Amino acid sequence: MSESTSAPDDSMPCLRRGLQAFQDHTHPHILHLYDRFRIADSLMMSSRELQIVQLFNGRRTIRDIQSDFMHIERGVLIPEAEVRQLISKLDDRLFLDSPKLKAFFDEPIREPSCIGCYPDNPIGIREGLDSLFTRSGGPGLPDPAGSHIDSTHPPIRAALLPHIDYNRGNVSYAWGFKELIERTNATTFVIIGTSHYSSKRFSLTRKHFRSPLGLVETDQKYIDRIVSHYGDGLFDDPLAHIPEHSIELEVVFLQYLLEKQYSFRIVPLLVGSFGDCVRQECSPGQKSDIRRMIEALQFAEAGAEEEICYLISGDLAHIGPKFDDPQPLSDWHLVHSKKQDDALIACAESVDAEGYYRVIADESDARRICGLPPTYLTLQVAKPSRGKLLHYGRYVHPTGNESVSFASMVFER
């Protein structure tokens, strides 16, 4: 996406990133322009319209588009009205890098993007999440917030939670959240999640998060302190948070558990890939931006007057042909992956962030541990005394096409 959200007066707006075209299987002459960020529904168009739209690069004028199309289609002239109609259709869907898109980004509330992973109504959400606690293998419903804090059970400093969909994450979510809620009085949760849609290392948002259970406010002063220490660049990708599930799924769970007890605020931080560290064979702590974020988060917490708890939203291994592995999964693959996961969990239990990273780096992140960035960062920031595994789980597709593993852990002060 370009830095500016409006094109020069004599140029057309350009298409924003995240758009893909695909053919309708039942009507081959119809194409769909699909938004992988899910801001808007797909737009049907003809192949001719798609050819025109592909000329919208933010530099061409309408006359340029007409001229270029005539060259492509050997003298076919596009009426100006047709071009303008296409612009209007695209802009209404927020498919253009335009002032209308900027206004959307400036909205103070982030609407939910994961409806379908959970119901679109409060009763359905509560019933569905209740069942994760009460079904076979679940831990039972949690006691009130903070009720299990005592001299032998100090408050939870941080927690690692899955962010796979609730159905596949299943009771692992419940084991983590039960222990967390019973042992925290935090009123601000710093949620550090894997970033799946942005190339930026770190992405903050000031937007408040809405779900069918209501609105959760983002702590603006806390964010101010992070920015004041870290510096510029944390809001460079306004699309990063809009389709992202790794923050939203934790927020909905917190709402469900705390809505009748007390209000809370969040600090939503997305962390992008540490692939450069793996390729360059260097610790993440050697990267200046990662060191600066560790310091910024510690600085922000030092200025907080309320109780703080960190949530790591990250899964473990992603293996199988779905994730570009060459062969379907065999028993050997699953046994080996479990062994490597056990090594990761052992490092996390001993709060060894560098050891955790080294397990992944030594296999060149071949199993695609999406929880690496938020886990490493949180362990370095929070400096807990020890960790405890509560539940380990994994989803294995029956044909061996994919497996995703995940865990719930808590970390004590």
Domain ranges in the chain are 19-104, 110-412
In Å, what is the CA distance from 296 to each residue of 125, 207, 242, 393? 35, 20, 24, 33
Tens digit of pLDDT for each residue in 147-184?
999 989 999 999 999 999 999 999 999 999 999 999 99
Tens digit of pLDDT for each residue in 240-266?
999 999 999 999 999 999 999 999 999
Tens digit of pLDDT for each residue in 18-55?
999 988 878 777 899 999 998 988 999 988 888 888 88
Q: Tell me yes or no: is domain 110-412 CATH 3.30.360.10.
A: no
Q: What is the pLDDT of residue 7?
A: 40
Give me the CATH code for the 19-104 domain, please.
1.10.10
- On the question of a common fold for 19-104 and 110-412, the answer reads no
Residue at 114: amino acid letter: C
Pick out the chain residues at pLDDT < 50. Answer: 1-9
Q: What is the pLDDT of residue 10?
A: 55
Q: Are strands 403-412 and 318-319 parallel, antiparallel or unpaired?
A: antiparallel
Contact, 390 vs 176, CB < 8 A? yes
